[in-house]
Structure 1
Amino acid sequence: MTRTPRLPPPSLKPTIQQIFPPSERAPPNLGGITTTLVCMKECDIEKFAADNLNLHSKGIFRKKSSVRDMLSWTPEPISRPMLALSRDKTDKKTAIELFKLVQIYMGDRKARPGMSLNSVVIDIIVAALPQQQLRDELYVQLCRQTTENPKRDSLIRGWELMAICLSFVPPSPTFQPTLLNYMNRHRDPSFATSFPEVGKWPIHVQISHYATVCCRRLDRIGSHGRRQAKRPTEDEVEQARNQILRVSMFGNTIAEVMELQKDKFPFRKLPWIQTTLSEHVLLLNGKQTEGIFRVSADVDEVNCLKSRLDRWDVPDYKNSMVDAHAPASLLKLWYRELYDPLIPDQFYEECVNTEDAEKAKEIVDKLPELNKLVLTYLVHFLQQFSHADVVSCTKMDSSNLAMVFAPNCLRCTSDDPKVILENARKEMAFMRTLIQHMDTTHVANLT
């Protein structure tokens, strides 16, 4: 009796040919140059690889690896960078070390003593951050390790790492379209159809979900985004990971925050996070707290409160040692981290060039309706702290309040340090004018 040979388990990732099926590369009704352009667009990652990969040699005859081999997952370390980097030996060594760190994070290589997932991410970002070439090297390595990967946990970790890195470090403008194309192909709903194993997984581990998050983060940190590259803390890495599966109320636009809360609070006119934190400041005797909004709160308390509120979990302060500084600091953070500034850029110059109450009111009236409502609520909230009896306790008059909140509402549109410094005073003056003169009675009881 002969046994049917067992086939190897299917890869949990489509091959390059599956990602870019020939039938999709050149639509039959297109011809000539257009067809060529479509092929180039569809095969973006392959074309980039063919033009830029540092093809490795293998075997005793030192045969060059194919582009396909170079773009497919490997459990082995690399001996040379994926991309043709400069001749600097330090950069080459860094690229090789990057690949080892990527493998460690994905569980394809044993971690060194003392390493944690978050520390590995920080090591990766610190290594890649200084140079665009190394950033591209990192993302090419991640594209490779998430292609034809036969290990589900490793594959998920690879996409998770991609999403986390895109919160803090962008690719070069040259490689960005290629990376976006690679990720967009994995967002395609037909992806699970062509590769049924993926469709069987729960939604939180479907690659299409991770790819969608990656695309969104790339859009915000890429060449046309507002986010700046930075070295993260371990808490920030943890938040970036958690927010892959749970959208945060921090770091998004006001409209996105409202969309996020519409099922829970369909009739609210203002962001729940804004009104809740404002109420918490008052509940914890913020009006009697010296240095409110100026004194920094304990970082751990702020992060804990942020994490809880992001889960719609309102703390009970009765038996806690938390004071008003924690919600006050988090409230400032929420305004500061809005992806688009509360006062949109197109109104910035008008704002910094007026201290007249009537002109300031006219500017506010021109804001988008939601921005105007959120700003008016903020000003009304700050006006409660500008009364003489409150100032005697907090030592925070309207000028001090304006100095603290102006940078959270207005963002200088210039990169010139001199302009930024000069405009800081003007931003404060505009905010002080609103606090002292703006009529906000119509939002007194608004939620």
Structure 2
Amino acid sequence: TLRKPISQSSMADWASKNLNMHTQGIFRRRISISNMLSWNGGSIKKPMLITSNRTIKKEACEMFKLVQSYMGDRQTRMDRNHVALVTVTKCWSTQGLRDELYIQLIRQTTDNTCYRSLAWGWELMAISLAFFSPSPKFQSYLEGYIYRHLDSDEKIARHIKDLKNKKITKSRKKRKENTEDEGLPISTYAKYCYRKLQKVAVTGGKKGLRKPTVEEITHARNAILTPSLFGSSLEEIMQRQQDMYPGNKLPWVQTQLSQQVLALGGEQTEGIFRIPGDIDEVNALKLQVDQWKIPNSLSDPNIPASLLKLWYRELEEPVIPQQFYKQCISNYENPDAAVAVVQLLPELNRLVLCYLIHFLQIFAQPSNVGRTKMDVNNLAMVMAPNCLRCQSDDPRVIFENTRKEMSFLRMLIVHLDTSFVKGLV
């Protein structure tokens, strides 16, 4: 469900307080906010946003050229993948540049008369959101901008036509004549960006020490049309795998990662699910899994175990849907009632949850607990947050419910009959 973003007036108010007002001409006249937030074919002499950081001031102007290069509005010898990589890496490495990039993209996708340039600007925004979020203070502004483009294709087409009919400079005429090219509807980019923004604001984007790679840039671009196996709904994931694995009743990613954990001796590995795998290795595996590949080079069971937890945690809707949450935390001490809740779940959710519980029951066996030091309580503690999501913002409620969530999952690990899952894919 899309929440209503901040109003247009609130966005204007934010802009008036945070934009680094530019001037033009020999009399140094101040450029209006609307002009500052409209497509510009030239360069900028200072950042769009107010900053006192000298490095940011310099990098922001160079980054604007990169944005123009990616959008096809400035000639460059670099291919667009490399331009995107340089841009994203700058912002990923320097947090202070992130809001600057997003405001530059807002500017270059406003009053832009070239559809191809416009689409590529939105594409770069989508790619960027795969790696880093805007700051909390800028998030609502970006959210408001994206929201206003969710269903605006006809309006955009009319606006571009109106702009072209106005008197525009000769150089701009030349630009629009040479580069007109239809692409994806802008609403497609906007819808993807909106969902991505909601997620990245929570997850924080790409983690680890390794810088972004060209492969990750390509993957981020492809994800606009081909949703990732991570962060999608169970239904979307099953639909995606229909062609490749038409007979499967469970998500391929779930079964493959689970099997990898066991194949690498995870049930005999101390601290499994508690000790995280190397984040860069997890990121690399995620990239492979999203291409339906499981590399043969894996040796540490903590890598697929960490990615498996991430997959559960990032599901668009948790394995146990939100409407069953209250029933779960109300029956955390009653084995029969807890098992009964599972039987009420939609069929796909029930199968996915039962597969997970069956998987955890392997680790809960006394012979394995002696090695892993992960008894049923520990397993429930690390996995409950990946299955149930408390919607409250009250710390006291969250704290109290965390205990109930753990107890509920523990009940399932101990009492749920999952024998039917064995061999199911």
TM-score of the superposed pair, with normalisation by structure 1: 0.70
Cα 1:279/1:79, change in 2 over 3 Å: closer
The whole-number CA distance in structure 1 between the counterparts of 2:304 and 2:47 is 50
Q: What does residue 5 of structure 1 align with? A: none
Q: What does residue 237 of structure 2 align with? A: 257
Q: CA RMSD in A?
A: 4.1
Residue 253 (structure 1) shift? 1.6
**Is the 1:308–1:314 contact (alpha carbons within 8 Å) kept by the matching residues of 2?**
yes
**Is the 2:37–2:110 contact (alpha carbons within 8 Å) kept by the matching residues of 1?**
no
Deviation track 1:383-428 (CA, whole Å, cap 9, x = no partner) reads: 1222222222322221121111111111222222333233222211
Q: What does residue 383 of structure 1 align with? A: 361
The whole-number CA distance in structure 1 between the counterparts of 2:123 and 2:25 is 33
The whole-number CA distance in structure 2 between the counterparts of 1:196 and 1:252 is 40
Helix, strand or coil: the match of 2:192?
A: helix
Does 2:257 correspond to 1:283? Answer: no
Residue 219 (structure 1) shift? 3.7
Cα 1:98/1:356, change in 2 over 3 Å: farther
Deviation track 1:132-184 (CA, whole Å, cap 9, x = no partner) reads: xxx5x764431222356699997676334311444523755466444332464
Deviates more, 1:118-127 or 1:416-425: 118-127
Aligned-residue sequence identity (percent) comes to 38
Q: What does residue 221 of structure 1 align with? A: 197
Q: What does residue 158 of structure 1 align with? A: 121
Q: What does residue 180 of structure 1 align with? A: 147
Query: Which runs of no fewer than 5 residues in structure 2 stay unpaired?
Result: 1-6, 79-84, 162-175
The whole-number CA distance in structure 1 between the counterparts of 2:45 and 2:9 is 19
Does 2:44 correspond to 1:77? Answer: yes
Deviation track 1:345-364 (CA, whole Å, cap 9, x = no partner) reads: 22223222322111101221
Cα 1:105/1:432, change in 2 over 3 Å: farther
The whole-number CA distance in structure 2 between the counterparts of 1:70 and 1:221 is 21
**Is the 1:98–1:138 contact (alpha carbons within 8 Å) kept by the matching residues of 2?**
no
Cα 1:321/1:315, change in 2 over 3 Å: closer
Give the number of aligned pairs.
377
Q: Which residue identity lines up with residue 89 of structure 2 in the other structure?
A: S
Q: Which residue identity lines up with residue 59 of structure 1 in the other structure?
A: G
Cα 1:156/1:212, change in 2 over 3 Å: closer
Q: Which residue identity lines up with residue 107 of structure 2 in the other structure?
A: R
Question: 1:100 aligned to 61, 67, 71, which one?
Answer: 61
The whole-number CA distance in structure 1 between the counterparts of 2:14 and 2:377 is 58
Deviation track 1:233-260 (CA, whole Å, cap 9, x = no partner) reads: 3769665762331331112221221122
Cα 1:180/1:116, change in 2 over 3 Å: same
Matching of residues 193-208 of structure 1 within 5 Å? 206=183, 208=185
Deviates more, 1:144-153 or 1:276-285: 144-153
Residue 375 (structure 1) shift? 0.5
Residue 307 (structure 1) shift? 1.4
Question: 2:108 aligned to 127, 133, 145, which one?
Answer: 145
Q: What does residue 314 of structure 1 align with? A: 294
Q: Which residue identity lines up with residue 215 of structure 1 in the other structure?
A: K
**Is the 1:226–1:339 contact (alpha carbons within 8 Å) kept by the matching residues of 2?**
no
The whole-number CA distance in structure 2 between the counterparts of 1:242 and 1:125 is 22
Cα 1:387/1:178, change in 2 over 3 Å: closer
Cα 1:148/1:257, change in 2 over 3 Å: same
Deviation track 1:99-154 (CA, whole Å, cap 9, x = no partner) reads: 5264154246999xxx94333222665455xxxxxx5x764431222356699997
Cα 1:315/1:124, change in 2 over 3 Å: closer
The whole-number CA distance in structure 2 between the counterparts of 1:237 and 1:214 is 23
Cα 1:356/1:49, change in 2 over 3 Å: closer
Q: What does residue 20 of structure 1 align with? A: none
**Is the 1:73–1:147 contact (alpha carbons within 8 Å) kept by the matching residues of 2?**
no
The whole-number CA distance in structure 2 between the counterparts of 1:153 and 1:199 is 6
Q: Which residue identity lines up with residue 141 of structure 1 in the other structure?
A: Q
Does 2:387 correspond to 1:421? Answer: no
Question: 1:60 aligned to 5, 21, 26, which one?
Answer: 26
Question: 1:359 aligned to 330, 337, 350, which one?
Answer: 337
Q: Which residue identity lines up with residue 311 of structure 1 in the other structure?
A: Q
Residue 430 (structure 1) shift? 0.8
Deviates more, 1:273-282 or 1:169-178: 169-178
Question: 1:303 aligned to 269, 280, 283, which one?
Answer: 283
Residue 231 (structure 1) shift? 6.3
Cα 1:363/1:47, change in 2 over 3 Å: closer
Instruction: Report the structure number with the largest CA radius of gyration.
Output: 1
Deviation track 1:41-74 (CA, whole Å, cap 9, x = no partner) reads: xxx9999779966775422345565745751223
The whole-number CA distance in structure 1 between the counterparts of 2:251 and 2:154 is 30
Q: What does residue 15 of structure 1 align with? A: none
